[in-house]
């Protein structure tokens, strides 16, 4: 029987030499693999009160929309700077390959709402940390952070757990 990890393609030396890129598009393209991933990501939260699922740009939108639909909740995107049309709050953060800014509509989350954060991959944790900061600034309460892939050698899980986050990942890959 296949696992979620079996559906993920590894591309050597992308986007830079020495990197093993974990490509989840092969998982998304397979109906059994995609359903398996969505079901496994939402299962731990099925009995929890969750008001909104927040997806981190960009593959977190694919996952977050599907999970929000299954949980019967709203979906909120956290996007790269300049992509949201209404008033936003911003958070700068560090990536594996540089710096970026994430934004969230300032009216997307109400104080006290219970939020599930979703993305495809947890590496250094910079993107998730920025998203968590934005949600908390609006008064959202993070129920958990759910990922398909964890790259434990890059330390993202440890960073988020030190922030008090409940972190779940469906599989892990060693190395970069």
The residues carrying an active-site annotation are: 59, 96
Closest listed residue to residue 75, CA positions, set 64, 84, 60: 64
Of the candidates 66, 67, 65, 85, which has an alpha carbon nearest to the alpha carbon of residue 76? 65
| Residues sharing a CB contact under 8 Å with residue 1, sequence separation 6 or more, in sequence order | none
3-state SS, residue 1: coil
Q: How far is CA 96 from CA 33, 110, 119, 176, in A?
A: 27, 31, 16, 10
Q: Which two tokens stand for residue 138?
A: 């609006």
Phi, psi of 119, deg, nearest 5: -155, 170
88 phi and psi angles, rounded to 5 deg: -130, 165
Residue 126's H or E segment, with its range, is: helix 126-137
């Amino acid at each position: 029987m296949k696992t979620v990890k079996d559906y993920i393609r590894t591309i050597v030396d992308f986007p830079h030499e020495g990197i093993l890129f974990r490509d989840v598009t092969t998982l998304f393209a397979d109906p059994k693999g995609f359903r398996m991933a969505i079901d496994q990501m939402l299962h731990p939260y099925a009995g929890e009160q969750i008001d909104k699922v927040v997806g981190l740009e960009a593959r977190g939108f694919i996952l977050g929309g599907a999970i929000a639909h299954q949980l019967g909740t709203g979906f909120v995107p956290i996007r790269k700077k300049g992509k949201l049309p209404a008033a936003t709050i911003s958070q700068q953060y560090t990536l594996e390959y540089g710096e970026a800014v994430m934004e969230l509509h300032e009216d997307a989350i109400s104080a006290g709402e219970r939020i599930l954060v979703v993305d495809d991959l947890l590496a250094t944790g910079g993107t998730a940390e920025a998203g968590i900061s934005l949600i908390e600034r609006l008064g959202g309460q993070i129920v958990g952070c759910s990922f398909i892939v964890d790259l434990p050698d890059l330390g993202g899980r440890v960073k988020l757990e030190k922030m008090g986050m409940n972190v779940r990942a469906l599989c892990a890959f060693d190395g970069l």
